[in-house]
Structures are given as structure tokens and as C-alpha cells.
Amino acid sequence: MPSQLRSPLLPGSAIGVLGSGQLGRMFAMAARRMGYRVHTLSPDEDTPTGQVADLEINSCYEDLDRIKEFASGVSVVTFEFENVPAATAAAAAECAPVRPSGQVLHTTQHRLREKTFLAQSHFPVTPFRRVGGLEELAQAADELGLPAILKTADFGYDGKGQFRIRNPEEFSEAWNAIGRREAVLEAFIDFECEISVIGARSIDGEFVHYGPVENRHRNGILDISVAPACVPENVAREAVEIAHAVLDKLEVTGVLCVEFFVARDGRLLINELAPRPHNSGHFSFDANVTSQFEQQLRAVCLLPFGSAVQHTPAAMVNLLGDLWSEGEPDWHAALSVSDVKLHLYGKSQARPGRKMGHLTALAPTTEQALQDAQRAREQLRRSAD
Ligand SMILES: Nc1ncnc2c1ncn2[C@@H]1O[C@H](COP(=O)(O)OP(=O)(O)O)[C@@H](O)[C@H]1O
Ligand SMILES: [Mg+2]
């Protein structure tokens, strides 16, 4: 690699972010706090990232001339949205370093490629089969057993593109429901709990991590994260070791989250990877010396990592658009819980299931933090009555 590509990008440099959601917004806040400029590109306007960036470019990801122009105007390109086409990452890479690399994106944006990579690298992964049609679905269900979950190979998030199959009568409904396209059938895991480890890796292989964090989902969408997770020490250690090995194997320069199921017998199974900061790490903005977003910045700018130490137990609850169904939530009431921090993403349209913001509570114990975060969220709702 030419030496100038290994030199640190210092404050004042411009960072390009592909994607424009809340992850980019919090990244941009961390970057601007440290004196960087942030340019964002996505097909949308007045976006969560664009509102706090120096420059918001409105373009589709397929317009490769615009992508090259965008990359030429920054010192490094990173992303907050993993469904950027491979050709887009390649076009950007002609004009600026892309971190993490397009190869990391390519592997992790497609469930089948991701799971195949994990299985071939001998990481513990939920049993799965590729499904390309109804006959293969029946065969896969025969091998894995029911219940099982059918998931589209690409473009899934927040539980979208998934169907839980309980009996063979549901095969055709499931296949239609996910749009009759390439999919993965996964054994249903009767887990004890779900945890995640967010790792950050430097270009030279230095590693820091957040976690494990315990995650509770509702309707396939993350609802609550509690940090640190209350799991036995050997489970926590193993989860961090696996995450470290995954980031090494993928040669990530940046941040990547590993989501796990903890089986009833304590075994860990990887559910999925996300090659970027993750919803389950939002607490780190308030509860850690250095947030996941700042570590992403430091990693892509080739700067030393900050301490990832968590100074206070924390719990985060997501605020979905459903909360707006009867009008504006009562922010005043929620903020009367004094250890709670409010984060809103600047989205003007509150649709059911859409992530609009989150609350993080900081307290002497995780139990207290969880109670406070939930109480504050309840108070937002109460106002709607
Ligand atoms: N094989 C499975 N067994 C049990 N629960 C699952 C399984 N797959 C997914 N889920 C539940 O659905 C949630 C979302 O699924 P996930 O595969 O992580 O998709 P997404 O990309 O939408 O986050 C998981 O966090 C878990 O709660
Ligand atoms: Mg997930």
C-alpha cells in the first residue's frame, strides 16, 4: 500500500459517509466534535446524517460518476448502510480509501454469503440451508426441522423479509411472503438470551470492544439493550474472542457488530454480522469513555483508539414511530427521569416500526438503568392518553 494511504487523517480532513440514517448522524456528531468535516451521500433529502453533516449529496448509489466525484472530495469513505452495491464501493475506492473495504460489505450484506463465510471459517453459526424454490424449502425444512425461519438473502433489516414457519402447510405462504427470491432457511433457536459484541479494529489489527450487551427484540426489531449483559463470565469471554476472530478474519478496518444467540446450554451461535456501528452500541455515546462512533472515526482515520471502558451501567430503549400514533410524545415527562438521555434522529415522518430515536439511562446498576429507561418511555406514552 502506498505510504500516504497509511498516514493518519488528521482533524480538518473530510470523511465521506455512504448512507444517511441515524448511524451516520451519530458518527457525524463524533467526527464534527473532533474537528472533522463530514460529507454524506444517499438517495434521500434532509436526512438524519445530512442535518448534521457539512455537505449532503443527494444521489442514487448506482450513479458511479457521482460516487467518484463524492469520493474525490474526501480523504476516506466509510458507510453507515451496508446495502451499498459492490460496484459503488469499488467506484469510491478508485478515488479514496474505503474503510471497511468493499469486500467486507460484500460478504456481510448477503445472508447466504455471510453464513457460508462463517461456517467455512469454523465459527459457530445457526444451522442454515440455501433456499431457491419451494422444493428446496421443503428439503431444507426436512433437514433442519420445524419451526424454522425463512429469511431473504439480501436487504433484510429490523425483522423485514422474514417468515417463521411452524408447519409444512405454511411453506408456500412463507415463500410468497418473502417475495419468492433467494433465501436462507434457519433452524429456530430457542435461546436463553441474545447478546452482541461490537468490535473496532485498526488497520494494524489493534482491537477494542463493547460487550457483550444483552438485546431484547420485539417483532424482530431491537427494543432494549442492557450493558453490560448479565451472562456468565466464560460466555462473555468467548463472545469477545469470537468477535475478535471474526474482525481479524475479515480484516476489518472500522467497526463491526456480531449478534449472538446464547442457547439454553450456554453455547454461542452467531446470528448475524453488521459491518458498522450498531443499535446495540448506542449506549456507548453516554456510558463509555469513547463511543462506538468515535472508534469508527479513529479506525478509518488511522488514529489510536480511545478507551472503550464503560464508566456507568446503562440501558437503552428504542423509540419507534408507533409512539407518535396519538400525537407528539411527552418529552417533558420523559426527561423528568433525570438519569435518562434523549436522542432523536431528526426524522419528520413517524411511521410504525421506524426507529425515531432512543433513550439511554445511566445508573449504579443495570437493573436500575433498565427500570429508569422503561419508566421514561412509559411516560412518553402516557401523554398520548
Ligand atoms: N433462527 C432464529 N431463531 C430464533 N430467533 C430468531 C432467529 N432468527 C432471527 N430471530 C429473531 O429475530 C431477530 C431479527 O433477526 P435478524 O436475523 O437479526 O434480522 P435483522 O437483519 O432484521 O436484524 C433476531 O434478533 C431474533 O430475535
Ligand atoms: Mg439482527
Tell me, in angstroms, the distance from the centre of ligand 1 to residue 207's CA: 26
Whether residue 383 has pLDDT greater than 60 = no
Whether residue 348 has pLDDT greater than 80 = yes
Tell me, in angstroms, the distance from the centre of ligand 2 to residue 3's CA: 38
Q: What is the pLDDT of residue 5?
A: 62
Neighbours of 308 (CB within 10 A): 21
Strands 37-42 and 14-18: parallel
Q: What is the pLDDT of residue 1?
A: 46
pLDDT tens digits, 219-247: 999 999 999 999 999 999 999 999 999 99
Name the residue of 112, 160, 162 to mutate for ligand 1: max ligand atoms within 8 A of Cβ: 162
Closest CA to 286 of 210, 225, 360: 360
Neighbours of 230 (CB within 10 A): 12
Q: Indicate the SS3 state at residue 215.
A: strand
CA–CA dist 250, 174 (Å, integer): 33
Query: When comparing pLDDT for 259 and 159, which is higher?
Result: 259
Least confident of 34-38, 141-145, 156-160, 327-331: 156-160
Considering only CA atoms, which residue is closest to atom 12 of ligand 1? 220
Tell me, in angstroms, the distance from the centre of ligand 1 to residue 362's CA: 27
Which residues are CB-neighbours of 26 under 8 A, at least 6 positions away?
277, 282, 285, 291, 293, 343
Strands 207-218 and 221-227: antiparallel
Tell me, in angstroms, the distance from the centre of ligand 2 to residue 221's CA: 8
Amino acid at 190: D
Q: What is the pLDDT of residue 6?
A: 79
H or E segment and range at residue 117: helix 111-120
Q: What is the pLDDT of residue 382?
A: 61
Whether residue 82 has pLDDT greater than 90 = no
Strands 207-218 and 183-187: unpaired
Tell me, in angstroms, the distance from the centre of ligand 2 to residue 383's CA: 31
Whether residue 158 has pLDDT greater than 90 = no
Q: Is the dihedral of CA 224, 226, 227, 233 positive or negative?
A: negative
Give yes or no for residue 372 CB within 6 A of ligand 1.
Answer: no
> Is residue 365 packed enough to be buried (19+ CB in 10 Å), middle (13-18) or exposed (0-12)?
exposed
C-alpha distances in Å from residue 23, one per residue of 79, 134, 264, 296, 330: 9, 37, 32, 11, 24
Q: Indicate the SS3 state at residue 135.
A: helix
Give yes or no for residue 149 CB within 6 A of ligand 1.
Answer: yes
Give yes or no for residue 114 CB within 6 A of ligand 1.
Answer: no
Q: What is the pLDDT of residue 160?
A: 85
pLDDT tens digits, 203-226: 999 999 998 999 999 999 999 999
Neighbours of 134 (CB within 10 A): 14
CA–CA dist 88, 26 (Å, integer): 23
pTM of the model: 0.96
Q: What is the pLDDT of residue 211?
A: 87
Residue 217 CA: nearest ligand 1 atom is 27
Name the residue of 166, 193, 271, 354 to mutate for ligand 1: max ligand atoms within 8 A of Cβ: 271
The four Cα atoms 261, 235, 316, 202 give a dihedral, to 10 degrees, of: -100
Residue 151 CA: nearest ligand 1 atom is 17
Give yes or no for residue 156 CB within 6 A of ligand 1.
Answer: yes
- Write down how long the chain is: 385
